[in-house]
Each structure stands twice: as structure tokens, then as C-alpha cells.
Structure 1
Amino acid sequence: MDTRRSLRILATTLGTAGLLISGCSSGSSTNASTSTPPASSAPAVPAGLKPYYAQQLKWRDCGVEGFQCTTMKAPLDYKKPDSGEIKLAVARKKATGPGKRIGSLLVNPGGPGGSAIEYLQSYAAIGYPAQVRARYDMVAIDPRGVARSEPVVCLTGPQMDTYTQVDQTPDDAAEVTELGGAYTKFANGCEQRSGEILPHVSTVETARDMDMLRALLGDERLHYVGASYGTFLGATYAGLFPARVGRLVLDGAMDPSLDAVELNRDQTAGFETAFQAFAADCVKKADCPLGTTSTADAATRLKRLFADLDARPIATGESRRLTESLGTTGVIAAMYDESAWPQLREALTSAQKGDGSGLLALSDSYYERRPNGTYANLMFANAAVNCLDQPPAFADAKAVTGAVPSFEKASPVFGKAFAWAALNCAHWPVPPTGTPHRIEAKGAAPIVVVGTTRDPATPYKWAQSLAGQLSSGTLLTYRGDGHTAYGRGSDCIDSAINTYLLEGTPPAEDKKCS
């Protein structure tokens, strides 16, 4: 596997707001019905939206072999559809055959902020199983505010470089003030550069855009594969339009019922679980940079490295030095996929010798920093969507200080940094429009929810919770490491999902794969 490509793809599946920084067994089936609600139960299109649902998509060659692109218009504000519009980028690769075409399969890699079109062109339309690509038009829409769809912009490249180096484990009042100032400058930059769109990039609005695209593609129901945050987007769609749900795969699921503090703390524990798995693998190797004795010793050595970087950032071979915040982000990036563990071991070994280039490269992949010093808008959109979807985790620095012990209990290695990172939305210029809520989607066709037992970014219990909330949810479990499961090496997982996508038959309830 190309680790850098893998990290670039997985970096788009960030999950929640805080991070700026083949055998199988199955249980009994309790939800194996493949029936779908009658079309007459689908809600009518509101009058104010009919012009949008009636528009004609004009497809053109994307410049990438086999792909077509178009632009879809949507109301900027769904509550006031006559008050302005937004243009959204769409791409597709038509079904290759053989076999009868099922419809369109919309894909989303997560984030929020990940470019679905980039994911489609670099992976999904070439990496998804041939039998799936044969019978579906593979389709992606960059969500509003993301990549090609009127992207949110907040900081310049040099400003973003400065922002990513700010100490996220403040040790005194001055450092707390500096961190708060960095969050304020970030938020103000978003408002100055993208103020018109900031109130209108919520997950609910993007789900409504997806329904419009479904109709314009000529599909009666939405077929969809969403990863990480893409599961929240897919579940939101199901809650809004249960009668229009087709075959939905929600891989690396989020739990919409949790508030921001719970989400961030659970994710902190998820990265601790992933680190423990990495450390257990590392200490078995003679050249492990974190020692060869125990995972506890490995954690101590990593914390010591972070402390050393906090006191004395190290050289990287370029103008930026490796700070504690960049080093932490580099380690986090490698937790998304176990195929990156060898790269992380090498980077940690180099860092211990005073060379921070390896961890910096991992951090840059996470932030989607380009070689020329510019950044994709992943982190800008990530904050914009998350800060709109839920009230802030913390109102001020005092609240964070009080929560740090619970975060450090969740992860002695990452807890403090994750707690302070969750303060970012307290400085946001636009009030939130969403709140934590259960999603049941009563009347929807069977929905497959996938969870990985040692997933760092979307802990397994979130998948269990979402599958339990959805009235037609079926849980599919991958016992293993890494973020998300489909297409990552488990024949058991892939076979179950492929059968569902091609035949409409969900896996047996609580099916487990490894």
C-alpha cells in the first residue's frame, strides 16, 4: 500500500471537531428484510425548491479519463430559497457493465472537509470492487464549503503554518492566552474571507443537497457509502428522507446523540486505544524507538519526546521546526492506518536523533499542506461544519482546565492536547444551528453500519450506538485496527458490503469479521 496516498485519503476522515492537532463469524439476523418503502410515502418537494429540483445538469469531460463533471445549483439558505444560491461541484464515472445498472452510488470520505470528488477520482472509482463499479454510476459531490464547492477559506499558507505550531498543551496563563488568540485569529479569518457562506455549511443543508442531486440523477432512492463524518451525513439524510433511503453503508460510524464534549473525549480514548495497539506491535521489534519492554514504557517515552519538543523544537531541514503540536499531529496521523506504523517508527527514531522531518511529513499529510506551502481547505471546512452542527464543547479556558483530568484519564498520551483543541468552537463567529440528537429514520430500508473495534477516530461504541438508534440499522463489525473497514483488506467485510450493495441484502445482525 502507498502509505502517503493512504494517509491523504484517511486524513479526510477526521471525524469530530477537536482535532487540529479475514475470518468471520455472525450472529442471528433480526433485520434481513430487503423491502423498501413505497415511493408514494416520500415527501413532496416544497414549492420553493421546485426550480432547483427541475434544473438540468450539463455534464462535461473533467479532464480525467472516464470522468464527467457538472455544477449543481442549490439555495444558499434552505429556509429562504429565493435569497441566493450556491454552486456545488459534482463528478461521476458511469457504470462500466456488465450487468444491469442499479443506479448511482454516492460516496463521501468524511472530514467534514474532505473532497468527495478527489476521493472518487483517486480511489473510489478505481479502487471499489469491479462488480460494484460495473453496476453503479460512481458519483461524488463536494459538500458546500468544501474543495470545489465554494470552499471556506480562513488563513493564508504562512498564517496556517503559524497556527499549526501554536502550543496546544499550555503550561501557563501566557500560553493559554496565546492559544485562545490563535483560535480567535482563525475564526476571524474565516469570517472575513467566507462570511457569507459560514452560516450555511451545516450537515443538514448538505444532506438536503444530496437529495436534490439524487433527484437530478434520476434515482428514486439514494444509494450511498459514507466514511467517518460521512456516516453522520448519511444518517442525517436518512433521518430527513427515510422513504428515499436506498442502500446506505455507514463505515466508521459517528454517534449523533453525543454532545461535543462526549464526542471529543471518546475520540481521545479511541486514539489511546490505537496507540496501545501500535505500541504493543512496536515493542516486539528490536529497533522500536519507544523501547522493547512494555506499552507503558512506550507511552512514557513518547510523552518524554513531546515534552522535549515543547521545550526545544528540533530541525526539519526547512524553515519550520518540529514543535510539540506538530509532532503530536504527526503521531496522530499514523494512527489512522496500521500500514503507516513502519513510517511512524522511522519518524520517531529520527526525531530522537534531532531530525523532525519524518514527523513533520506525517503532520503535513494530516493538514493537507502542499509542497508549495499552501493548504487545502480541509481544516477550514472542518471547523466551519463542526462549529455549526453543535454547540461548543467548552465555553472558555476555565472549562477546559476542569475537563483536562477526564481527558487525560481517557488518554495519558494525548488527553491534554485533545481537551485544549476542543476549545476552538468557543471562538466561532456564527452561532450553532444543530444539537445532539438520536436518529431513528423510521420507515427507511435496511442500513448497514460498520464499526472497527480499534478505530482511533470513530470509536467502536459509536457504531454500536448508531446501529441501535436507526430503526433499520444492522451492525457489521471488523475486529482490527485502523479507521474504517471497507476496502482495507478484510474479505469478510468486503463480501458482506458488496452483497448488500449489489443485491440489497444486509449482513446478518451483529456479523463479525477479522
Structure 2
Amino acid sequence: MRTRRTRTPRPYRSSRVGGALLAAAALLVSACSSGGASRAATADDGAPALGPLPRATPVALAPYYEQKLRWRDCETPGFQCATLRAPLDYAHPGDGDIKLAVSRKKATGPGERLGSLLVNPGGPGGSAIGYLQGYAGIAYPARIRARYDMVAVDPRGVAGSEGVECLTGREMDAYTQTDLTPDDAAEKDALVAAYKRFAEGCGKRAPKLLRHVSTVEAARDMDVLRAVLGDRKLTYVGASYGTFLGATYAGLFPERAGRLVLDGALDPSLGADRLNREQTAGFETAFQAFAKDCARRENCPLGRTPAQVGHNLSALFERLDAHPLPTGETGGRRLGESLATTGVIAAMYDERAWPRLRQALAQAVRDRNGAGLLALSDGYFEREADGSYSTLMYANAAVNCLDLPAAYTTPDEVERALPAFRKASPVFGRALAWASLNCAYWPVRPTGAPHRIEAKGAAPIVVVGTTRDPATPYRWARALASQLASARLLTYDGDGHTAYGRGSGCIDAAINTYLLRGTPPADGKRCSPS
């Protein structure tokens, strides 16, 4: 989810609600308006189906599809970089261009080259180039890297591609510390004011760009890149929000969809309110798995039963709301409830982070020191040591608030939704409900709406779901697989966000075989941890 980055990326993140509480809350589905996509007949559930674009490339777009990339060595050894031109507005390509950063690592051989494999780690707002150079281009299976040119493009608004920026580092520090569980009218007003300042900052710094960072437009950019790279069809691995981007591509260009892997899938037919509630329940599911694991360990700082762990974490959040902890940071930031909640949620994405979370919680509970949880939160927000932030959270809000109407538009609407959120998660529900208000004050009206994606005529598409995924609940993978006409659902019965490359030999073998041979797994195949 971020921008430039050359270091090893953090774990995949969904976006939205978990994505930074404040900066990302309305979840991540977009729709199909800005880019000329058509709408097919309304589906049985009431959500319209995304219709494909015409097969023939419009004459006005031919210069983009026929451009030649000028490759140069990147700062990261072994990778090449280039700049792709795309129209800022596909409906009016003569109104100006947007420049998109592209990177690749050429196929190493041996074996016949299979084309380009485009990767996207999610977000929205995640740097695909950072992911490629920090992970996929060096850690994907050697036989995949031998046969494919590994390629990434930072989506519009993200990192190396004309990124969205909204606040200074100090302003973002203040924003991330805003109280997300207001107890009175004054605290509600302060939260609303924070959302407004964030939105106004984005509007002032990127007034034109904010209107053209939709998922539909990003998917159309991928088709331009596909053509420029010389590939007849797109081969793609997308995680989390990247699954929505990939599914949107298939819906717009079904005949050009090649081997697509959608790992940690989203359900595009849901509105922002339901997406946020269901993601909240997903974090609760993941937390209960953590609580069960923690309770059986001697060093668990929150109790000896899962119920005690949940109760004591909630109590810790309440104490931090009233009395933030010192962190030892020179700048004086203290750990309040909002930063602590983000830190805990960050660790829910990957069970391999649970030991670090236990240590951070012990530090907070026993030592009255918030440094560990603050570090987890900073990692999630992609805050650098010098106090600067990547474009992650800015692009996250920009895409989400354009892709879907706001979940809630007033504090009163959030108040009415609180019982449902608390039911979804006694631990995180209240904070995530208020986080769902952020798009209410966005300076640009949404261009998207809930819809189904069928992609009739596309080659087999592999949809991957993890049963205890915190950020993209397993139900979403089943829902997307039921919509896509050619989907093959691959299930990982485990913890964490996404499944490919996370330790399951069964999952990895199924996906590698599909990418190398074009043979998808049987629909409904299930895998367990190795």
C-alpha cells in the first residue's frame, strides 16, 4: 500500500478500515463509471454487473497503446525502470497525461519465456514497485522468475506514479492520534474536524488527480501496459485490494484476461457500510485466533483464557484513551488508544507477527511503555524514522472515497451503526465504526458504486480465500468466485491475510502450476498449513 519503497515490504494489507483506521475507512470496492465502462443487466441481488469495454482500441487511445518504453537501470540492482504514459481521463484523452512508474526484472531462464507477470500487493495505495523490488522479484519461486518477466506499475496516485499527498509529517502525526472513540460532543467535533482537514489537504494538493484515481482507471492503465509490453493477454497476481483491481480488469477486458490469481479476495457487490462491518468481524475472527494462541503461552500478558485476553485488551484501550503511555520517542509522541488499536490490528495480518505483538503488549501492560505498539502502528502507516509518511494512506483514502459512496455521512449515522459494529467486534468495533466516517467529507464525489463482476468469456481465474483472514473475510472470496463466470475457488484453512507464499506447500503448488502450465486447481480445492 504505499509508494516508493525499496526495502522489504510489510505484509499485505487490505485497505480501508484496518488500513489505518482514520485514513482508510470505507473499504475498498470501486465501480465502473469514470472510464466509459458499460453496465450490464442488474444481477439477481440488485447489484449491476460490470460490462466489458469494446474490444477495439479507440483511435484516440492508440498513441498510448503504441508507445515504446525507455528502460533504464533502477536504483535497486537487477531491476529496470521506465515511465508509462496514460490519459488522465480516459473519457477525454486529449485533456492531458498521467505518468506511471513501471519496473521489471527480466526472465532469468532457463526455459521458454512465458511473457510478463504483473504483480500488485494491494492497498489501495500500496507500491507495486516496492513490492516487486523488495519481495516478488527476488522471493517468488525461481521457476516463476525464470519464465516470466516480473513487472509492476505503481497505480495512479501511488508512490512513484504521481502520488497523492495530503498532509505534512507533523500534520499526519496529529491525524493518526485523533481519538477514534469519542465520548462526548467535543470529541466528536474534533474527529470530524480531523477528517475535514485531511480531506481539505488532499483537495488542495491534488485537485485534478483526485478525480482520476479510480480502480477502473487503474485497470485500464494495466491494459495499456499489457499492450506496450507486447503481451496478448494479461498474467497477474494481485493480493487484497489487488484482487479487486484484477477482477475489474477481467470484467472490462475478459478476452484479454490470461492467468489471473486473486489472493485475499474482495466482494465488489457490497456497499461501504457492509464492507466495513464485515471487515470488522474479520479482524475479530483473527483476534480470537490470536487470543486463543496467546492464552496458552506463559508469556501472554493479557490472561490465561481467550475471554480474559479480549477483556484485558479492551481495558488497556480504555486506559490509553484516558492516559496515553510514554514511548521514549524524541518527538514526544505518546501511545494513545488510536495508535495502540492500529498497532494491534497491524499484527492481525500475519500470525508470524503475534510474538512481536505479545512482546509489545507486555511492554505496555507491565512496563507502562508504548514503544512496541507505536512501532507496529508506524509500520502500518508506513511512517519513516524521520517523521515522513509515504503516499499509502493518502492514496488509500483517495481511491476508496472515489470508488464507493461514503459508508456514513454524519456522526448520527455512525451512532446508529455502533451496535452492529460492537456485535461484529467487541474489541475493535467502536473504533472501526467511527473510522468509517472518513469519506463523508471528501472533496470529490464518488464515481463508483457496488457491482458484480462476471467477466464472461475470460479464461479460468483462480480466486484464493483464507478462512481466518482478518482483512478480507473468507466469505468475500466465495462471493467473488460465485460472480466470476470462470472462477476456481482455492481455499487456505489457516490464519493471516492472503495465502500465496506464506508457507502452504499445497497453495503454492496449485498457484505455481497454474502460472506455469495454465492448469487451474479444481474448483473448491482446500489446503491446510504445511
CA displacement, residues 285-338 of structure 1 (integer Å, 9 cap, x when unaligned): 11211111x211110000000000001001000110001000000000000000
Q: What aligned pairs does 1:328-407 form with structure 2 within 5 A after superposition? A: 328-352=341-365, 353-407=367-421
Counterpart in 1 of 2:326? 315
Distance (Å, rounded) in 2 between the aligned partners of 1:88 and 1:287: 47
Match of 1:28 in 2: none
Alignment-derived partner of residue 450 in structure 1 = 464
2:144 aligned partner, one-letter code:
V
> Per-residue displacement from partner, 1:269-294 (whole Å, max 9, x unpaired)?
000000000000000011211111x2
Shift of 1:416: 0.4
The question of whether the paired residues in 2 share the 8 Å contact of 1:68 and 1:91 is answered with yes
> Is the 2:463–2:489 Cα contact (8 Å) retained in structure 1?
yes
* 2:60 matches 1:48: yes
Aligned-partner residue type, residue 310 of structure 1: D
* SS of equivalent residue, structure 1 residue 143: coil
1:229-378 correspondence to structure 2 within 5 Å: 229-292=241-304, 294-318=305-329, 319-352=332-365, 353-378=367-392
SS at match of 2:375: helix
Q: Which amino acid aligns with 1:196?
A: K
The 8 Å contact of residues 15 and 458 in structure 1, kept in 2 or not, is answered as no
Cα-to-partner distance string for 1:358-401 (whole Å, 9 max, x where unaligned): 00000000000000000001000000000000000001100000
Give how far 1:15 is off. 3.0
Provide the C-alpha distance between the structure 1 equivalents of 2:15 and 2:67, rounded to a whole number of angstroms: 33
Mapped contact 2:302–2:308 kept (Cα < 8 A): yes
Query: Structure 2: how far apart are the matches of 1:439 and 1:126?
Result: 32
Distance in 1 separating the partners of 2:170 and 2:474: 37
Equivalent position amino acid for 1:336 in 2: Y
Listed as ranges, the matches of 1:82-481 within 5 Å are: 82-292=94-304, 294-318=305-329, 319-352=332-365, 353-481=367-495
For residue 29 of structure 1, what is the aligned residue in structure 2? none
Q: Percent identity?
A: 68
Do 2:8 and 2:131's aligned partners in 1 also have CA atoms closer than 8 Å? no
The corresponding residue for 1:15 is 15
Residue in 2 that maps onto 1:73: 85
Offset of residue 18 of structure 1: 6.3
Q: Partners in 1 of 2:109 and 2:364 — Cα distance?
A: 50
Aligned length: 489
What's 2:41 paired with?
none
- Do the aligned partners of 2:421 and 2:432 also contact (CA within 8 Å) in 1? yes
Shift of 1:13: 2.3
**Take 1:13 and 1:446, find their aligned partners in 2: how far apart are those partners?**
25
- Report if aligned partners of 2:13, 2:349 keep a CA contact under 8 Å in 1: no
What is the CA-CA distance between 1:461 and the residue it aligns to?
0.4
SS at match of 2:344: helix
Question: 1:196 offset after TM fit, Å?
Answer: 1.5
In the aligned structure 1, how far is the partner of 2:17 from the partner of 2:345?
15
Distance in structure 2 (CA, Å) of the matches to 1:341 and 1:147? 29
Q: Deviations over 1:32-74 (max 9, x none)?
A: xxxxxxxxx9811011101111111110111222111000000
SS at match of 1:82: helix
Distance 2:281 2:208 in 1: 36
Which amino acid in structure 2 is aligned with residue 325 of structure 1?
Answer: S
Match in the other structure for 2:46: none
**Residue in 2 that maps onto 1:37:** none
Structure 1 residues 401 and 11, CA, compared in 2 at 3 Å: closer, same or farther? farther
Q: What letter matches 2:483 in structure 1?
A: Q
**TM norm structure 1:** 0.94
- Counterparts of 2:238 and 2:229, CA distance in 1: 18
CA 1:92/1:501 → structure 2, altered by over 3 Å: closer, same or farther?
A: same
Q: SS in structure 2 opposite 1:9?
A: coil
Q: Which one-letter code corresponds to 2:80 in the other structure?
A: Q
**Take 1:54 and 1:507, find their aligned partners in 2: how far apart are those partners?**
35
SS of alignment partner, residue 204 of structure 1: helix
Give the Cα separation in 2 of the matches to 1:56 and 1:359: 47
Q: Note the C-alpha offset of 1:183.
A: 0.3
CA distance in 2, matches of 1:247, 1:376: 31
Give me the whole-angstrom Cα distance separating, in 2, the residues matched to 1:85 and 1:17: 31
SS at match of 1:443: coil
User: Distance in 2 between the 1:120 and 1:494 partners?
Assistant: 18
Gaps of 5+ in 2: 22-52
TM (normalized to structure 2)? 0.91
The question of whether the paired residues in 2 share the 8 Å contact of 1:12 and 1:115 is answered with no
Residue in structure 1 matched with residue 49 of structure 2 by the alignment? none
Q: 1:57, 1:71 within 8 Å by CA — same for their partners in 2?
A: yes
Q: Is the 8 A contact 2:284 2:424 kept in 1?
A: yes
CA RMSD in angstroms comes to 1.3
- On the 8 A contact 2:18/2:345 being kept in 1, the answer is no
- Are the equivalent residues in 1 in contact too, given 2:82–2:103 (CA < 8 A)? yes
Q: Are the structure 2 counterparts of residues 407 and 20 from structure 1 closer, same or farther at C-alpha, using a change threshold of 3 Å?
A: same
Residues 73-129 of structure 1: CA deviation (Å, up to 9, x unaligned): 000001100001100000000000111111000000000000000000000011100
Moved over 6 A (4+): none
The CA deviation at 1:17 is 5.1
